[in-house]
Structure formats: C-alpha cells, structure tokens
Chain A
Amino acid sequence: DGGITQSPKYLFRKEGQNVTLSCEQNLNHDAMYWYRQDPGQGLRLIYYSQIVNDFQKGDIAEGYSVSREKKESFPLTVTSAQKNPTAFYLCASSLTVNSNQPQHFGDGTRLSIL
C-alpha cells in the first residue's frame, strides 16, 4: 500500500535537546512538506522540498531544520532553539510542487516537552 509513514507517533523531548521526526513516503512524489498544528489553529508550513537536495523555508522555520538526501525521506529536526515545540507535526507529499497536485498527509507525530 502506498502512503506516508511518520514515526514515532509520540515523542518526548527534554529541555535543550534536539529531536528528529521521521517521514518516509513510497508514493514516488517529488515534493514533501512539514506542517505544525496547534489546537484551534490551522496547519502552518515549516519547510518544504521540491526535489532531492533542495528545501525551502516555510512560514515558521525558526528553530527547525530538515534534509532531503533521498526522494523517499524528509526528516525534520526540532532544535533546542525552538522555544515552544509542543505540537502535532504533520508530513505531506505531492507528485510535484505545482499547486494543482493535492497534498497527501501522514498520520502525524505528537511532540511533548518533559
């Protein structure tokens, strides 16, 4: 079955610690995205990648970093510089970055601070 796999489902971070969220897709999509979701708010774009070895900042990139070394994988690192990291993180992908290609979403990772 083709889809997007995010792991882990739940993640806990200590103060001052970096953590990495995994996102893997087997849809052969070129574009991948990371969103942050907070209660009562819509999704906000953190980073996106159009192709391998390319990525662009979204609206709220501060305190986050990404890499795109393989087409299938787009991991997100939440650094200690992100002062309010508690949120639900969603990864998405689309065939291309063109706006006529709907985005498909994984099941998310919930990050909490210990």
Chain B
Amino acid sequence: AQSVTQPDIHITVSEGASLELRCNYSYGATPYLFWYVQSPGQGLQLLLKYFSGDTLVQGIKGFEAEFKRSQSSFNLRKPSVHWSDAAEYFCAVDRGSGTASKLTFGTGTRLQVTL
C-alpha cells in the first residue's frame, strides 16, 4: 500500500527567507505526486503535480518541487516566502499510469511566517 510521510508538523520561517517542506513516499512503482495548500477553514488548492519527465516541476505562487526517485522524496521549495504563504501544506501520492485514482495524503505541515 502507498503511504506519505511529512516529517515536519510545524515550520516557522521569516518573510523573505527560503522554504523547503519535506515529503517522502512509499509506493512500489512510479507514483503520481502532488502538493496541495490549505488555508484555515478552506478546501485544498493544487500547487503542483508530477507525473513523469523533468523531475523539477514548477507550480503556482512561485513554488517548485523536485522528484528524487532514489530518495523517494518530493520536497516543496520556494526561494522567498511571503506572509500570505502561511497555511497548511499537504503532499499526496497517487497510483501511476493506467490506474484509477487512490490519492493518499500526508498529515500536513503547518507553515508560519514571521514578519
């Protein structure tokens, strides 16, 4: 069965500093990988996705993520954090090509931004 680990429950960064949120997955084949963001009391918004090809993917709001097969990781990065980035971030893995969706989420990382 697939699984996702987000080892950091809570991260605090200063506005303007760089950010990296960690995500490790477990899946027997090549997965599809996603990062979602959730503001308090809101639904989830898709930041970016990886299916295949270039292992560095660009998303919305200046975020990017890098797929590293050897490390089973899909870390989310942003070079300069804005106060509006404060939210909860979820990494998710789905089964790969030719299958019905079974999206599995990590437990989330709450990002706090200090001014």
Interface residues of A (CB under 8 A from B): 4, 6, 31, 40-45, 48, 50, 90, 92, 94, 97-108, 110
Contact = CB atoms under 8 A, between A and B. Distances in A.
B107 A42 contact: yes
Contacts of B95: 99
Nearest to B108: A42
B43 A106 contact: yes
B28 interface: no
Contact of B101 (A43, A90, A94, A104): A94
Contacts, number: 67
Interface string B39-65: 001111110010100000000000000
Given A31-B101, A97-B101, A98-B99, A105 B45 contact: yes
Contact of A105 (B43, B96, B99): B43
A97 B100 contact: yes
A43 B104 CA distance: 8
B101 A101 contact: yes
B76 to A, nearest CB: 15
Contacts of B49: 102
